[in-house]
Structure 1
């Protein structure tokens, strides 16, 4: 995988450098996924800070389709085993995913002990077990008042579930398809996506059981669009290298942070998922960061998945503590963002060093 493939999620987000034709690295895509992950943190801290940030997931799915196709498409065509592909994906995603589950579990235990939650032991045990294995919690169907979401221990984990599911579909089927057939898959997925958008009045679906049906067309359309982009433009040299690359980064952040009237929400969400997200990814391919910004862009991309998968549980603990000492929301968010960036970076580095040590020992 590439620096763009540490996981979703944000979706394709983990390896360090991909050699594809004339491209050694996509620095603008690195930067964009990092900025998008920060917007997700902002909306979870306070929704008004980035009210459309749930659309970052649709961008991440497009990015994932592009990167997975770039790295694994030809390998699968040349005989890479399905088991090897999935083992590589899980190996990249799982260490930080598991830490995210542990952080979420600690959050729930602390909030319960502080009297801020009323959590049943059976719900906690079953949900933790299911979520640990990338599976949604079944407690929605078994209890009157279960914890919210399909992945209540660590909310952002829901996109990892759909990410792995579409990875399976890719490795078994999508990578074999022609561009025309892929466009057909995207078209069918788009039709279902439109239905979902208007059914729920938005695309913030797929993370809880009542809207679980929305997750499949979201991931299938966006991931397939990313595969099509890879087939058409992967490996092409950038049109321009310079500060113009900031434009798609700003466009992405504006789109996923924008407040939108309720009456326009389904139209806006569908426009972003079906048109703007693929367009922004393509702009990220064609407009590359200048040499002076490459190190920063790489670092921002590196911390994107750790931030995404670790922040939710940390917010749950931080906010009541901040409120108890009188921190107002903007200052509290600034403090939290700085802390979570440091936590995510240190954790990612420790995980990388541990994995590298184990790999050397295995050899």
Structure 2
């Protein structure tokens, strides 16, 4: 069972990535943020906790070293982010000045810059990758050793602390240096819930959620919030504690032959989701620097992301992914 690809979750991953892109595009175009589609990142965190527990907890307890696991996770993310940073480099130097090349160099290596307003001014969404790697580190050192009951108690105890933080700021924390510590709670909270759901369900969710409903939850939730300009910490908890588990349950119940068009589309969407997420900001910022509407950056983003789904695109990516595959085999 553990070796089977969870095609339904691939489809949800694609919807989450598209939600983030549309959220940013609307904000950049209008100059004002509306809605709460940034919460799609919390679904990514919960999905990561589920998939990492499903795929690696047993291996980490036996044959896989923490260092090898973390190296593999870094190799999963860094090549795409490095190329994204190179794409955004001209925009960054024009916007912040050529004397800030040292900041750009650090960001290209996935190193945050705490002296800036943003951790990653070169490519803002990289903050979520840094925090996901932190959650992976915590997972391999601590969380995998905790019982499910202990994890549940920890999540319950963390909830009021997270609520106190986001009620004063917003759930849209992570990119800004000043909110780094609350952002650590944000990622760990959803990530731990993902681990718990894996241990409870083992790919067989105890709640019967129709897959079609699971695929509609994010578009409906974010569309209503955008239309009525709703953004509150309460809606954030509603999304994380109710919507995300329901989506996972429905996605896990989706089944169908891998050769069917729908299954192929979901698998392709899942493969596209991370490069789309990693590339969209520098590409769209470059487009706006050229004086074009930000929407013109969406098509080039998908075109560039498609290249990253090709098995032999890029010498760096090919070599690092090959090493990662050997390390995590």
Settle same-fold status: TM greater than 0.5: yes
C-alpha contact 1:238 1:286 (8 A) present in aligned 2: no
From 291, 298, 308, give the equivalent of 1:337: 298
Structure 1 partner of 2:267? 298
Structure 2 partner of 1:32? 12
Q: Distance between the aligned counterparts of 2:77 and 2:146, measured in 1? A: 26
1:316-361 CA distance string (max 9 Å, x none) = 12135464xxx6xxxx63x53232111111134266674556749x
Cα drift, residue 293 of structure 1 = 0.7
Cα drift, residue 240 of structure 1 = 8.5
Structure 1 partner of 2:241? 274
Cα drift, residue 100 of structure 1 = 1.6
| Secondary structure of 1:46's aligned partner | helix
Matches within 5 A, 1:226-305: 226-236=194-204, 244-259=210-225, 265-288=232-255, 291-305=260-274
Q: Distance between the aligned counterparts of 2:207 and 2:301, measured in 1? A: 35
From 189, 200, 210, give the equivalent of 1:221: 189
Structure 1 partner of 2:112? 136
Q: Distance between the aligned counterparts of 1:341 and 1:289, measured in 2? A: 26
Structure 2 partner of 1:16? none
Q: Distance between the aligned counterparts of 1:314 and 1:220, measured in 2? A: 29
| Secondary structure of 1:89's aligned partner | helix
| Secondary structure of 2:186's aligned partner | helix
C-alpha contact 1:206 1:215 (8 A) present in aligned 2: yes
C-alpha contact 2:80 2:278 (8 A) present in aligned 1: yes
Structure 2 partner of 1:13? none
Change (3 A) 1:264 1:154: closer
Change (3 A) 1:238 1:344: farther
Structure 2 partner of 1:68? 52
1:52-97 CA distance string (max 9 Å, x none) = 2210110000000000111111001114211111111112111112
Structure 2 partner of 1:120? 97
From 116, 119, 122, give the equivalent of 1:150: 119
| Secondary structure of 2:172's aligned partner | coil
Cα drift, residue 120 of structure 1 = 3.4
Structure 2 partner of 1:55? 39
Q: Distance between the aligned counterparts of 1:34 and 1:177, measured in 2? A: 31
Q: Distance between the aligned counterparts of 1:120 and 1:208, measured in 2? A: 20
Q: Distance between the aligned counterparts of 2:304 and 2:150, measured in 1? A: 43
Q: Distance between the aligned counterparts of 2:301 and 2:34, measured in 1? A: 17
From 12, 26, 29, give the equivalent of 1:46: 26
RMSD of the TM alignment (CA)? 2.8
Q: Distance between the aligned counterparts of 1:90 and 1:357, measured in 2? A: 13
Q: Distance between the aligned counterparts of 1:292 and 1:348, measured in 2? A: 18
Change (3 A) 1:212 1:239: closer
1:266-322 CA distance string (max 9 Å, x none) = 211121123222222222112346744100000011100000001101001213546
Q: Distance between the aligned counterparts of 1:126 and 1:250, measured in 2? A: 43
Does residue 173 in structure 1 map to residue 142 in structure 2? yes
Query: Could you list the runs of 5+ residues in structure 1 that have no partner in the other structure?
Result: 1-18, 141-147
C-alpha contact 2:8 2:252 (8 A) present in aligned 1: yes
Q: Distance between the aligned counterparts of 1:349 and 1:152, measured in 2? A: 28
C-alpha contact 2:84 2:123 (8 A) present in aligned 1: yes
